[in-house]
């Protein structure tokens, strides 16, 4: 283990150099025994930490896209969603599968603002509970009905409870439902004749999945090949919309060890891919590129300067330590994310593919 005395990474937000994290050790890298053990560690992490995430980051547990001085992290997080809508041209009232939906912030946004019918899936039962509670509060507080109704999108199979948003201008509103589901089993759960979607949306979750080839193949199988909207406005094939974390291409072994391994370890990731590797996997599954990877690293890096300042409570670090080495490694990964962005070794990109 290594003890850090002070953080020398530049911070555009003026984060103080003295920080509780500077007094704690960075755990040595711990390899994952297997894909199953990695997923169990991920699930345990989110079961424990999701309430904390919700209080710290709010309903959107993902990076923010900072476009103007003075923007809050909440505004920046919505900016990122809007960018994904821009690059995908997702039609209103689309049927969306939000993979790795977290506490449902993006699912609610798409249902509320675009009248989409969204199915959010997450490996964490606790996140499902938070997502459902937050949705009920939002719908009830917005003058709509918080009553859940049984729905089937395009299937005769039983579905989970969907929560309906009120319509606007005489048009139907959107709806959301949340399921606890391992993303690697989504083709098994929804596949065959049971259900298809106009869009698979995945934001900062694909990097967690051990079997990325399976994800691309499953997404291709679950997407409709004739339309991406519920209003008849588009004839494109189904869309795969991705925002994710990447490593820069061509890194040296030393760069991997110093900058990438601590992120993979602390954030419970299998090896990080490059953006070009995602393109190759998508094309191998049958997709064609609709929007090539757009690197927005410089515009999202501030997320981790803010996050590092938000985890400045000594009691938080004490709690992390009480959860074992993964808790401490997670918080120390914040430091690694900042360093990776500063060094250009860690990247963030968005992209979009379509089914021919």
Q: State residue 147's pLDDT score.
A: 40
For 58, phi then psi, to 5°, come to 85, -160
Q: State residue 30's pLDDT score.
A: 67
Q: State the number of CA atoms in the 13 A half-sphere of 22 facing the CB.
A: 11
Structural domains in the chain, CATH included, are: 32-354 (3.40.50.150)
Q: State residue 20's pLDDT score.
A: 67
Residue 139 and residue 173: Cα distance in Å, rounded?
A: 11
Q: State residue 237's pLDDT score.
A: 80
Strand order in the sheet with 239-247: 148-150, 161-164, 175-180, 117-122, 95-99, 199-203, 239-247, 346-354, 288-295
Q: State residue 31's pLDDT score.
A: 67
| DSSP per-residue string spanning 36-85 | HHHHHHHHHHHHHHHHHHHHHH-S--S-----STT--HHHHHHHHHHHHH
Q: State residue 348's pLDDT score.
A: 97
Residue 40 and residue 206: Cα distance in Å, rounded?
A: 16
Q: State residue 29's pLDDT score.
A: 67
CA pseudo-torsion sign 94, 100, 103, 106: negative
Q: What is the largest CA-CA distance in the chain?
A: 61
Identify the bridge partners of residue 201 per DSSP, sorted by sequence position: 98, 241
Residue 118 and residue 106: Cα distance in Å, rounded?
A: 9
Q: State the number of CA atoms in the 13 A half-sphere of 197 facing the CB.
A: 27
Angstrom distances, CA of residue 28 to CA of 35, 261, 262: 20, 10, 9
pTM (2 d.p.): 0.84
Q: How many residues does the chain have?
A: 356
List average pLDDT for each run of 10 residues in the chain, which is 356 residues long. Answer: 36 55 67 71 71 72 91 94 97 97 95 96 92 93 43 41 88 94 95 89 96 97 74 68 98 96 90 98 97 97 87 76 77 89 97 97
């Amino acid at each position: 283990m290594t003890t850090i005395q002070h953080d020398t990474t530049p911070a555009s937000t003026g984060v103080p150099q003295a920080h509780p994290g500077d007094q704690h050790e960075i755990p040595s890298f711990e390899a994952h025994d297997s894909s199953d053990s990695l997923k169990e560690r991920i699930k345990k992490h989110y079961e424990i930490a999701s309430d904390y995430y919700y209080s710290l980051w709010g309903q959107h547990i993902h990076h923010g896209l900072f476009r103007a001085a003075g923007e809050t992290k909440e505004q920046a997080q919505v900016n990122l969603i809007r960018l994904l809508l821009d690059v995908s041209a997702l039609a209103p009232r689309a049927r969306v599968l939000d993979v790795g939906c977290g506490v449902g912030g993006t699912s609610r946004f798409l249902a509320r603002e675009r009248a989409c019918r969204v199915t959010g899936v997450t490996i964490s039962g606790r996140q499902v509970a938070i997502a459902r509670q937050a949705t009920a509060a939002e719908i009830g507080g917005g003058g709509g009905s918080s009553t859940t109704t049984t729905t089937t999108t395009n299937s005769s199979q039983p579905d989970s409870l969907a929560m309906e948003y009120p319509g606007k201008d005489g048009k139907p509103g959107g709806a959301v439902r949340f399921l606890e589901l391992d993303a690697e089993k989504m083709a098994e759960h929804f596949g065959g004749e049971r259900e298809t979607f106009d869009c698979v949306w995945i934001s900062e979750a694909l990097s967690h999945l051990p079997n990325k080839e399976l994800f691309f193949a499953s997404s291709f199988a679950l997407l409709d090949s004739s339309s991406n909207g519920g209003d008849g406005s588009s004839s494109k094939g189904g869309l795969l919309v991705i925002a994710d974390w990447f490593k820069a291409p061509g890194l040296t072994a030393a760069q991997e060890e110093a900058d990438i391994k601590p992120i993979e370890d602390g954030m419970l990731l299998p090896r990080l891919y490059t953006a070009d590797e995602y393109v190759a996997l998508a094309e191998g599954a049958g997709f064609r590129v609709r929007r090539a990877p757009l690197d927005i690293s410089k515009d999202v890096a501030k997320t981790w300067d803010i996050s590092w300042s938000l985890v400045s409570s000594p009691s938080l670090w004490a709690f992390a330590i009480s959860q074992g080495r993964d808790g401490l490694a997670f918080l120390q990964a914040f430091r690694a994310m900042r360093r990776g962005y500063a060094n250009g070794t860690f990247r963030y990109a968005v992209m979009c593919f379509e089914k021919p």
